[in-house]
Amino acid sequence: MKKLPKWLQVSLTLSLIGGVAALLISSVNLLTSPIIESAQKENAEKKLKEVYPEATSFGEAQELDGYTYVVQVTQAFQGENTLGYIYEANGQNNYGVISLLVGFNDEGCGRVVLLENGQSYGQVLEDNYLGPLNNGEIGLDEVNCGATYGASLIRDMVEEAATIYEQQFEE
């Protein structure tokens, strides 16, 4: 029997190795994807609870299209009663990205919780703007904090969420 050319032997060997590796990777993914999905859902609910700690459950997130920053809204419940609505917003400026959750109800704007803070002055932004804002020490428009561009981005994201919330209940 004639021996296969060297290039064909190498090609077949590499193909076999690649096929086995792909089979192993897909098997691991099949086994771990439910665990990962469960952990992601649990982490998302923890973040939602930071906005409304008294919430007992949350509705399904509804995607929102056509807005600059706001991408989805989730309803927060305490028993059968609606506590409020939590908006997720994503934004970017020259100093980095910000993703946040902000709650709104009949009493107005609730807590603002950062999901991602990629701003170059991120800690200054959290310490000098977001913390005082959540504690009621400053207003939304008081953006002069040492990280003014990041604070302005947060302000714009929260204002867009507020506009959507107001439009939702005007109809």
Q: List, for residues 58-105, the tens digit of each pLDDT value.
A: 999 999 999 999 999 999 999 999 999 999 999 999 989 999 999 999
Query: Mean pLDDT of all residues in the chain?
Result: 90
Look up residue 17 and give its two tokens: 């190795």
Q: Which of 56, 92, 93 is nearest to 77 (CA)?
A: 56
Report yes or no on 22 lying in a domain.
no
* HSE of 32, CA atoms in CB hemisphere, 13 A: 7
Report yes or no on 150 lying in a domain.
yes
Q: Which of 102, 127, 106 is nearest to 50 (CA)?
A: 102
Residues 6+ apart with CB under 8 A from 88: 61, 70, 71, 72, 73, 74, 99, 100, 101, 115
Per residue in 127-147, pLDDT (tens digit) is 989 889 988 888 888 888 888
Q: How many domains does the chain have?
A: 1
Report yes or no on 25 lying in a domain.
no
What residue numbers bound the domain in which 86 lies?
A: 52-170
- The answer to whether 151 touches 143, Cβ cutoff 8 Å, is yes
Question: Three-class SS of residue 110?
Answer: strand
- Which pLDDT does position 136 carry in this prediction? 87
pLDDT band at 107 (very low <50, low <70, confident <90, very high): confident
